Amino acid sequence: MKTACSCYRVRSDGTYTTTGDFDMADTTTPYSDVMEQIERDFDGSVERLGEFLKLKSISTDPAHDEDTARCAEFAAQMLRDMGFEAEAVQTPGHPMVVAEHPGANPDAPCVLYYGHYDVQPADPVELWDHEAFDPIVIEGEHGPRIVARGAVDDKGQVMTFMEAFRAFKETRGELPCRVKVILEGEEESGSPSLDPFLEANRERLSADICMVSDTGMWDIETPAITTMLRGMVYVEVTVHGPSSDLHSGMYGGAVVNPINELARLIGMIHDDRGRVTFPGFYDGVTPLDPEVKAQWDGLGFDETGFLGAIGLKEGKGEEGYNALERTWCRPTCDANGIFGGYTGKGAKTVIAAHASAKLSCRLVAGQDPQSVLESIREFFESNVHADCRVELESHGCNPSIAVPTDSKWLVSARGALTDVFGRDALLIGTGGSIP
Amino acid sequence: MKTACSCYRVRSDGTYTTTGDFDMADTTTPYSDVMEQIERDFDGSVERLGEFLKLKSISTDPAHDEDTARCAEFAAQMLRDMGFEAEAVQTPGHPMVVAEHPGANPDAPCVLYYGHYDVQPADPVELWDHEAFDPIVIEGEHGPRIVARGAVDDKGQVMTFMEAFRAFKETRGELPCRVKVILEGEEESGSPSLDPFLEANRERLSADICMVSDTGMWDIETPAITTMLRGMVYVEVTVHGPSSDLHSGMYGGAVVNPINELARLIGMIHDDRGRVTFPGFYDGVTPLDPEVKAQWDGLGFDETGFLGAIGLKEGKGEEGYNALERTWCRPTCDANGIFGGYTGKGAKTVIAAHASAKLSCRLVAGQDPQSVLESIREFFESNVHADCRVELESHGCNPSIAVPTDSKWLVSARGALTDVFGRDALLIGTGGSIP
């Protein structure tokens, strides 16, 4: 999320509250005491968020490495203050904040919360009306909101569950379930330490469910839970032809040209209905749940506005699906980069010995990344000209995530959100991928 | 030509001669006195070539700018010594050697000789058995030959007509026709000054025929005249899509991707018979002269060896033609470069706002470069997706050259070559282009 405002729910009576409390809510249990405590201490929670936002935890900028470490320690200390066993664990990159609280009942379910404490750089600074790390509250169209770098990505979201923990502790002296927390400090710089850390701390982080607090609402009035996240296969494909670069005058017309050949193959990836032609690519893909589809159809998604904002009119994709479906629940293949031959200024008449493209497939539930990778290999190897050799390098595979719509966790969270916002919480997708 | 040896015709009696004298020969006139003078002074001509070869006229390397200027002056002085009005004319790049000799008869035809005095760098120097600018004569399979950088590209060829002039002057005191000479010093660096110079010196360089002495023989035993030179249209095509780079997770599958789109279009350039699909591309192209085709078919061209030398087996091109025809007399389209999106290491999930390719078409007689350029534009504009815009930048157009096989100049030159070599001189093509 790249916007710079955090959303607070303004009640009809003029009071406002965070949206964070839904995490712990259960529609069958009265949490009015906890809710009241949250409202009572609201100024305090805004103040604590303000302290969090002041820390310049810019993970991509080594000049801010100390600020980033200080921010991790700040988050760990907040958790310790609430009775968590918490530490900022060193990694090859920035620290990972890991915390655990036993809860009152050892048999209660365990919920793992994910968030990140690092932020993007504030550049271009001239576009900010005030200092990006000096949070202010402004009166917006929908009520007061906090503006600062990181307010909605992701410190605001992190504070929603932090403040929920605090309100439970202050009203009841305990948490209603076992809680684990992991906050990373490298989300804005590609999460290089996350995979190895999860792998090495599998037991320590095991939980019944993981809540990822780094997604969005549908709009400022409408709560939503992201239940689908596309997976990905990213490959670099190189087509090798002649053993060396050739002069296009001496050889042009008589030999295979790896750039033309690679282009031809990429041109074959989509059929005239916009479907991906890798063999077996759609194996396992199921139609969208009719209830979810009906919900999406009712969203009034402005496709013209969506396309117009990026200078487009027609859109392009798989026949029979609208833009929401195409990005949330249909698999794709895009070339993310291509290079070969002469790419400098002017002209050079070379037939390049090889040409490469970076291709990524976004995957949906039912697709197996390894099978898709093999399917891409099969596509290129079986269609390439006999005088060429295809080399495929994987830059990562990860599966799609789709939470079953009847999951008890999802039903519970959706009920809590609906309760607080006074309108049905949506189940939405997102086109992105998380490793 | 990139090889490093110059070819001399070894007679059956053990004497040898250059192949340069064919230029001036006329099968109907006895030039035995001139031929004898050439053989008599052969050691002298080899010595003069040696001096020419010692000059490090590496046009691409500014460190050798003075050597290159010295080489131009050397050539101009040789011409002045033979009674030419000659000068090394400054250009924005390296000097152009321009010379003229009136000949005995003002009504005689005027022949313009083109050659170049600049050479490629000697790198990689470790592959040379001796210093590249210290010419030596070695005993080769076909007799003695001179080895030095520039010996066959193009100082050796230049010296053939220089020595022919000299022999005429020494035996008869005059040249048999009017002669003009232009030697450029930028052939190995793309001839940037040539076009403007020709344009500005149109009158001064006008002639009845131009002899280009920068082509090859068929093989060391078989003389040949290159009568066909493909023309060229070189364009850079850019496909513009979204107004900015997009995240492939958020947009992938719903919007046009300029890299995929450019690839698809390049893939459409050739049909399944290997023919170029630009509308009207083959307009004006005529079948090969049957006599020339018969001659080519009789050459015993080793297509397997031609392909094998560059690591290929099958070849690829227009159906119904062999590799010689495909490169000598058929038009083509090759992508010489392609670039777009992320081209660094690893993965970046970007949908690029635009993607570009450098495309060149080799043209043959009958094709008009401007029409081909328009045809390329029409192809891209009419086939591109409605959400994309095509930008076409021309990097140069030049027509094909095909000398009529019944031209009196060609008949005369061919007769002279046949006479000297004792075997029929071939009429061949070359796939390259000269501005």
Please tell me which residue of chain A has the smallest CA distance to B347.
A395
> Considering only CA atoms, which of A2, A23, A3 is closest in space to residue A145?
A3
Q: What residue has token string 């805004």?
A: A46
Interchain contact, B358 vs A348, CB within 8 Å: yes
Q: Which three-class secondary structure state does DSSP give residue A49?
A: helix
CA angle A176, A178, A182 (to 5 degrees): 125
Q: Is the peptide bond before A154 cis (omega within 30 degrees of 0)?
A: yes
What is the token pair recorded at A292?
């979810």
In angstroms, the separation between the Cα of residue A356 and the nearest Cα of chain B is: 9
Q: Given A330, A341, A395, which is nearest B336 (Cβ)?
A: A341
Q: What domains does chain A contain, in order, with CATH numbers? A: 9-228+401-430 (3.40.630.10), 231-285+331-398 (3.30.70.360)
Q: Find chain B residues with C-beta within 8 A of A342's C-beta.
A: 336-337, 358
The minimum CA-CA distance between B295 and chain A, rounded to whole Å, is 19
- Give the model's pLDDT for residue A50: 97
Mean pLDDT by 10 residues, chain A (435 residues): 30 36 43 91 95 96 96 98 97 97 88 96 87 92 90 94 96 94 93 93 95 87 91 97 95 97 98 98 95 92 96 97 96 98 92 98 96 98 98 93 91 90 90 77
- Which chain A residues are Cβ-neighbours of B318 within 8 angstroms? 253
Whether the Cβ atoms of residue B215 and residue B403 lie closer than 8 Å to each other = no
- C-beta of residue A172 within 8 angstroms of C-beta of residue A158: no
Alpha carbon B379 to chain centroid, angstroms? 29
Residue B304 and residue B368 in contact, taking contact as beta carbons nearer than 8 Å: no
pLDDT in tens, chain B (435 residues): 222 223 333 333 333 343 333 333 344 457 889 989 999 999 999 999 999 999 999 999 999 999 999 999 999 999 999 999 999 999 999 999 999 999 888 889 999 999 999 999 988 888 888 999 999 999 888 888 899 999 989 999 999 999 999 999 999 999 999 999 999 999 988 889 998 999 999 999 999 999 999 888 888 888 999 999 999 999 999 999 999 999 999 999 999 999 999 999 999 999 999 999 999 999 999 999 998 999 999 998 999 999 999 999 999 999 999 999 999 999 999 999 999 999 999 989 999 999 999 999 999 999 999 999 999 999 999 999 999 999 999 998 989 989 988 899 999 999 988 988 898 899 999 888 876
Cross-chain residue pair B346–A269, CB shorter than 8 Å: no
Round to whole Å and give the CA distance between A50 and A58.
16
Asked whether the CA dihedral A199, A205, A206, A207 is positive or negative, the reply is negative
Q: How many angstroms separate the CA atoms of A88 and A70, rounded? A: 10
Look up residue A239 and give its amino acid: V
Q: Which residue do the tokens 């005429």 mark? A: B168
Contact yes or no for A97/A72 (Cβ under 8 A): yes
Task: Give the A:B interface size as CB pairs under 8 Å.
Answer: 292
Report ipTM (2 d.p.): 0.83
Nearest to A34 by CA among A22, A44, A46: A22
Q: Are A248 and A372 in contact (CB under 8 A)?
A: no
